[in-house]
Amino acid sequence: MKIPSRSDVEALDRSDPLAPMRGRFHLPEGMIYLDGNSLGPMARSVPAAMDTTLREEWATGLISSWNNAGWWDLAITLGDRIGQLLGAQSGQIVVSDSTSVNLYKALHAALALRPDRNVILSEAESFPTDLYMIEGVLQACPGSECRLVDFSEPGLNDALDDQVAVVLLSNVNYRSGALLDMQAITRKAHEAGALVVWDLCHSAGVIPMELDAWDVDFAVGCTYKYLNGGPGSPSFIYAPKRLHDTIKQPLSGWWGHAAPFAFETGYRAASGVRAFLCGSQPILSMAALAAALGAYDGVELADIRTKSQELTGLFIELVAANCPSLGIASPCDGQVRGSQVALAHENGYAIIQAMIARGIVGDFRAPDILRFGFAPLYIRYVDVWDAADQLADILNTHEWREPRFQVRSEVT
């Protein structure tokens, strides 16, 4: 098969229905940003929206803005907007806290719904905070334990016995980019009597899904990756209406109280998904997120998915052809691949630094993974071609061996 030339892929950009969406983002001149799966770029609409929130709502409206500027309901209204990307009807998602904190709420609540069972089942390859938060939940729930499987369909089948209360899995693995079948696994877990908690950090905004129709019990995810909410923007948590009357989330703060401004002595949970709130919300960060989500207006997730598979498939094809020293650590089958590509090389860190020096930004995940995210709203086919071309050059010239590329930073 003929390897696509640069002009071949330029033609793909010309016929790309999502091409105009790139204009919705501020992207530094001369940079190819393949790290939107770690921190999404800023949408152009954000500074003006933040300015309004700062000058009109905070500086002028002051405390009245909780009532008059939509601040009080922002956690819910943002959740509803995100729900449109996840197949969730309104009133089932709130935006608040970090993914780590929301994992705690969801896992603890799920365990409590299965009092005759005591096992949280997850994957050894999970993002570490997911595993750390399981440890925290186990400490708070005496008698509970964690079982880690090496994920594979048979592995999950064997592990799903009648002690499993809850299964926590990432829809897309943060390192390999492997995509799990949420619908099938949710069904399997339910057949075994367990609940599921899905971590959507690497799939929200790039993978079409139907949380309601697939009967998902809980889901959590970041807003600063593909949803472009900005550094540290709050995460979201989904719990379906069918569970609202029975769920108890453990972080019983006043924002989740039925009547926060009654200042009662005892806790009474709010009805609905509001019960998942804990304390005051980061309104400035949420204002940025609200504006950023506008970048999804008028966009079909099916188009995003199609382009995502083409971008990642093109990158894999070019790397396989031109960079024989790199291992492909992501699934080669586009159907089971998220929107990122992981490559393996023992000097991965230095190679990534050499690419960053050339304006191509990916990241490194220890011990040996070079990770590249392809966000279809703003990445062009020609960016993929150029990134693969530069990568091949860095490997062929051994440029990555320069001492300046060996120095490790805190965030990799």
**What is the rounded distance in angstroms from the CA atom of residue 201 to the CA atom of residue 362?**
17
Q: CB 105 → ligand PLP: shortest distance, Å?
A: 12
Residue (182 or 318) nearer to ligand PLP, CB: 182
DSSP conformational letter for 135: H
Q: Measuring CA to CA, which residue among 339, 411, 362 is closest to residue 400?
A: 362
- To the query of whether residue 371 is one of the catalytic residues in this protein, the response is yes
Q: CB 17 → ligand PLP: shortest distance, Å?
A: 28
- To the query of whether residue 127 is one of the catalytic residues in this protein, the response is yes
Crossing angle of helices 283-293 and 74-86, rounded to 10°: 30
The catalytic position among 81, 225, 274, 365 is 225
Residue (201 or 388) nearer to ligand PLP, CB: 201
- To the query of whether residue 225 is one of the catalytic residues in this protein, the response is yes
CA distances for 137 relative to 145, 161, 170, 235, 247, angstroms: 9, 20, 18, 19, 16
**What is the rounded distance in angstroms from the CA atom of residue 207 to the CA atom of residue 336?**
11
Tokens found for residue 26: 């501020």
Report the DSSP pairing between strands 195-199 and 218-221: parallel
The catalytic position among 33, 104, 127, 218 is 127
Report the DSSP pairing between strands 218-221 and 236-238: antiparallel
Q: CB 234 → ligand PLP: shortest distance, Å?
A: 8
The catalytic position among 35, 199, 217, 363 is 199
Residue (149 or 388) nearer to ligand PLP, CB: 149
Query: Cβ(78)–Cβ(97) under 8 Å?
Result: no
The catalytic position among 174, 224, 364, 372 is 224
Q: CB 174 → ligand PLP: shortest distance, Å?
A: 4
Residue (33 or 381) nearer to ligand PLP, CB: 33
The catalytic position among 371, 372, 378, 405 is 371
Residues in contact with ligand PLP by CB under 6 A are 98-100, 127, 129-130, 170, 174, 199, 201-202, 222, 235
Residue (127 or 400) nearer to ligand PLP, CB: 127
Q: CB 400 → ligand PLP: shortest distance, Å?
A: 26
- To the query of whether residue 263 is one of the catalytic residues in this protein, the response is no
**What is the rounded distance in angstroms from the CA atom of residue 47 to the CA atom of residue 25?**
11
Quickly count: other Cβ atoms within 10 Å of residue 55's Cβ.
11
Q: CB 6 → ligand PLP: shortest distance, Å?
A: 33
Q: Measuring CA to CA, which residue among 95, 9, 115, 119 is closest to residue 287?
A: 95
Residue (120 or 222) nearer to ligand PLP, CB: 222
| Residue type for position 37 | N
Residue 329 burial by Cβ neighbours in a 10 Å radius (0-12, 13-18, 19+): buried
Catalytic residues: 127, 199, 224-225, 371
